Amino acid sequence: MGEGSPRANGAANVTMTDVARAVGVSPALVSIVMRGVPGASPATRARVRQAAAELGYVPDRRAQALRQQGPRSLGVAFQPDQEFHAGVVDGIYAAAEETGYEVVLSAVTPLRPEARAISTLLANRCGALLLIGSTLSAAELSREAARLPVVVIARQGRAKDVEFVCSDDEAGLVSAVRYLVGLGHRQIAYLSSYRSGSGPQRLHGYRKAMAEVGLGDLTDVVTAGSTEQSGALAAVGLLERPSLPTAVIAFNDRCLAGVHGMLLKRGVQVPQDVSLVGFDDSEIASQPQHRFTSVHQDIEWLGQTAAHNAISRIEGRDDLHRPQVVPTRLVVRESAGPPRRT
Amino acid sequence: MGEGSPRANGAANVTMTDVARAVGVSPALVSIVMRGVPGASPATRARVRQAAAELGYVPDRRAQALRQQGPRSLGVAFQPDQEFHAGVVDGIYAAAEETGYEVVLSAVTPLRPEARAISTLLANRCGALLLIGSTLSAAELSREAARLPVVVIARQGRAKDVEFVCSDDEAGLVSAVRYLVGLGHRQIAYLSSYRSGSGPQRLHGYRKAMAEVGLGDLTDVVTAGSTEQSGALAAVGLLERPSLPTAVIAFNDRCLAGVHGMLLKRGVQVPQDVSLVGFDDSEIASQPQHRFTSVHQDIEWLGQTAAHNAISRIEGRDDLHRPQVVPTRLVVRESAGPPRRT
DNA sequence: CTGAAAGCGCTAACAT
DNA sequence: ATGTTAGCGCTTTCAG
């Protein structure tokens, strides 16, 4: 109502100087106390801490960063609607905060392209760029990498000065195919995701494995995607065929969940009629209505490795975590079994 | 290798002064040009812009913010693993960037409690706190609100100086119950989520509606949750009963997806044997294997309203967007139909 | 239209 | 152990 001021905050922003005045010491001393570095007597420390708490003082990170020498933050571009990214972000936080680095998040959404997310990060002078599932071209990535360390997560590729940290997608798919072949399957279809970061590697793993076990001419790739929706649609396509494949591997668990739902709806039994294998070993896979056999990837470790490597590069060290291709392993549950005898 | 320096960046950070020197003007002029404010000739403007582009100069947001008067950023605490939050974040971005505000994201994860997320935001001197699905107590919220504007999204409640922006959960549930009753249902179970922000309102809506239509004594609340997993488990519980309810309403679509999956797996037909109604009208609901009838809520609008209101409060205006309780509506698909005749 | 100077909140040298 | 000074990169008066 009678609030004419442009600043309606109940409490004005408390600065270091305010705390210093309250205690009757110099600002520099407050700085020393707040950072926990040596150079203040225990008595002063206590008084400063108390005054800070009473005034509700929180050090201004932006001013700190501005004054400090090297960059001490990691810029992360991620997609908030991909729950896969959540795990990676968690891993990054774990590794970064442990090392005293701050994490600066920038979302990529339908309305907010990756380039925009990156320029925000750059404007915040983060020391490195961690791009989860980036869709930038190798040239674009290298252009950024000329400026600061760039780590691309969950996508394979090659680009000058750019690090790629990802799971061993190819080996994961190979293990899935081998497992199904071991159960006696021959007609093994693969639902691919053309646009996902690791799409090409998984597809390649499938092709390679099928060829290796002598089923090259039964190779059966169906274009799907990375969502339940795409899986359900792909399943409809499969159901329209004269006969179903005996096993289906999907790009990821979400896609497979769509397949599973649609198959159940049409009365197809899993694994009796069709065996199903997913990828990610996400929560979906372990849910009681699915119980998917799935290729596990260590998502948090992906994030931690990426953060660790980014920090190494920022600090000019060369102790990059290896392998940057993180191993995968097949987790067996109940969605795959031997094929019906013909 | 022979890289002894702690700063391994290919290009040092370019500052405004560098650009000024390159063009042969004062830093202040560069500032004027970069911000696009009046005070420079078109010719100078062009030369500065070109030099900036060539040097790859990006203004330092932290320094800008430090120098600027009022706060021009919104601090958002969200959970990256809740895809529901993604839509809200998107809405916030849309409203904020349109108004020239920056969005500062801070993740709440299993390893990173909400309090930590908030203190990071405070340290970045954002002008307001937007908390998506906050789990803080009213007292804790009010404590923060004494400092700066606080908007809680997707949770109802009452706390001094705190704004709550959420969907009309109660009315949504009422519409779901009425719809099912209209189809002839009487045994309508509700799968609740005890810990979710809007859980109490939806539960209350269910109870109220059942009582209103004279089915108060058939009220049937099952504790479930907000994930597929919880829905699947709840479905198992229902299946163990002597007889199923004729209709099930779930806290949200994800939970209902779990129910649906489990029912299909056990050979229960939807909607012939059991009718299903969800909440959120999320992507899940429209997927071909589900086709859920679901209560729609406008998630992006939630974010936009919250951002708008936060900015209003920052700037001391009083034109808060109303209603802060955003209406919901029932979207009818194929998961609910008349009950089997007894 | 352009430049010089002061200062945002903080930290890193250097004094005392 | 504590205080003083200078300056991070930028914006904002105020002169010219």
- Contact list, B73 vs chain A (CB under 8 Å): none
User: How far, rounded to the nearest angstrom, does the alpha carbon of residue B122 sit from its chain's CA centroid?
Assistant: 20
Is pLDDT at A1 greater than 60 in this prediction?
no
- CA B230 from centre of chain: 21
The reply to whether B64 Cβ lies less than 7 angstroms from strand D is: yes
Q: What pLDDT sits at residue B1?
A: 33
The per-residue pLDDT for range A60-87, each reduced to its tens digit, is 999 999 998 788 999 999 999 888 899 9
Q: Is the CB of A30 under 7 A from strand D?
A: no
Q: Which chain A residues touch B315 with a CB distance below 8 Å?
A: 6, 8
**What's the CA A66/C1' C7 distance, rounded, in angstroms?**
14
Residues 166-205 of A with CB under 8 A from B: none
What is the Cα–Cα distance from A101 to A128, expressed in whole angstroms? 11
CB distance B66–A60 less than 8 Å?
yes
> Which candidate in B9, B228, B230, B317 is best for mutational testing of the A interface (most A CBs within 10 A)?
B9
Cβ of residue A28 near strand C, that is under 7 Å?
A: yes
Written as six digits, the tokens of A94 are 């774990």
In whole angstroms, what is the distance from residue A293 CA to residue A125 CA? 43
Q: Who contacts B35 (Cβ-Cβ below 8 Å, separation ≥6)?
A: none
Q: Please, which positions of strand C sit below 7 A from a protein CB?
A: 1-5, 7-13
Q: Walk me through the domains of chain B, giving residue ranges and CATH numbers.
A: 14-53 (no CATH), 67-167+298-326 (3.40.50.2300), 169-297 (3.40.50.2300)
Copy the structure tokens of residue A70.
């090297």
| Secondary structure letter of residue A271 according to DSSP | T
Q: Are B29 and B72 in contact (CB under 8 A)?
A: no
Is pTM beyond 0.75 here? yes
Q: What one-character DSSP code corresponds to residue A217?
A: G
Chain B residues with CB-CB distance to A9 below 8 A: 147-149
Query: Cα separation of B21 and B11, whole Å?
Result: 17
Q: What average pLDDT does range A94-122 have in this prediction? A: 95
The pLDDT tens digits of the residues spanning B99-125 come to 999 999 999 998 899 999 999 999 999
Pick the more confident residue, B243 or B196.
B243
Residue B136 has a pLDDT of 95
What pLDDT does B60 receive?
Answer: 95
Residue A176's identity, in one-letter code, is A
Residue B118: its pLDDT value, please? 97
| Angle at alpha carbon of residue A279, lines to A278 and A281, rounded to 5° | 95
Residue B304 has pLDDT above 60, yes or no: yes
Q: Model confidence over B305-317: pLDDT tens digits?
A: 999 999 999 998 8
**A42 and chain B in contact, CB less than 8 A:** no
C-alpha angle with apex A171: A166 to A174, nearest 5 degrees?
A: 145
What gap in Å lies between CA B302 and CA A228, rounded to an integer? 25
Confidence category of residue A11, pLDDT binned at 50, 70, 90: low
pLDDT mean over B18-30: 94
B7 to A313: CB separation less than 8 angstroms, yes or no: no
Q: Which nucleotide's C1' atom has the smallest distance to the CA of B64?
A: D10
Rounded to a whole number of angstroms, the distance from the CA of A194 to the nearest CA of chain B is 20
CA distances from A300 to A51, A89, A108, A154, A157 (A): 39, 8, 20, 11, 20
Asked if residue B168 lies in contact with residue B327, where contact means CB atoms within 8 angstroms, the answer is: yes
Strand partners, A78: A107
Residue keyed to tokens 């992006």:
B300
* Mean pLDDT along residues B34-62: 93
Going by pLDDT thresholds of 50, 70 and 90, the confidence category of residue A8 is very low
Indicate whether A111 pLDDT > 80. yes
Q: How would residue A2 be classed by pLDDT, with cut points 50, 70 and 90? A: very low
Radius of gyration of chain A (CA): 26
Q: Nearest CA of chain B to the CA of A269: how many Å?
A: 8
Give the chain A residue whose CA is nearest to the CA of B82.
Answer: A83
At B95, the amino acid letter reads A
pLDDT value of position A196: 80
**Residues of chain B positioned with their CB less than 8 A from the CB of A60:** 66, 123, 125
The answer to whether the CB atoms of A70 and B7 lie below 8 A apart is yes
Nucleotides of D under 7 A from a protein CB: 1-5, 7-13
SS3 for chain B, per residue?
CCCCCCCCCCCCCCCHHHHHHHHCCCHHHHHHHHHCCCCCCHHHHHHHHHHHHHHCCCCCHHHHHHHCCCCCEEEEEECCCCHHHHHHHHHHHHHHHHCCCEEEEEECECCECHHHHHHHHHHCCCCEEEEECCCCCHHHHHHHHCCCCEEEECCCCCCCCEEEEEECHHHHHHHHHHHHHHHCCCCEEEEECCCCCCHHHHHHHHHHHHHHCCCHHHCEEEECCCCHHHHHHHHHHHHCCCCCCCEEEECCHHHHHHHHHHHHHCCCCCCCCCEEEEEECCHHHHCCCCCCEEEEECHHHHHHHHHHHHHHHHCCCCCCCCCCEECEEEECCCCCCCCCCC
Cα angle, residue B81 at apex, residues B257 and B104 outer, rounded to 5°: 140
**What is the SS3 string spanning A117-183?**
HHHHHHHCCCCEEEEECCCCCHHHHHHHHCCCCEEEECCCCCCCCEEEEEECHHHHHHHHHHHHHHH
| Residue B10, pLDDT above cutoff 90 | no
Element (H, E) at A305: helix A299-314
Residue where the block lists tokens 């800070």? A52
State, as a whole number of angstroms, the distance between the CA of A40 and the C1' of D4. Answer: 16
Tokens of A281: 């070993």
Which residues does chain B have within 8 Å of residue A5's beta carbon, measured at their own beta carbons?
Answer: 316
pLDDT tens-digit readout, B138-171: 999 999 999 999 999 998 888 999 999 999 999 9
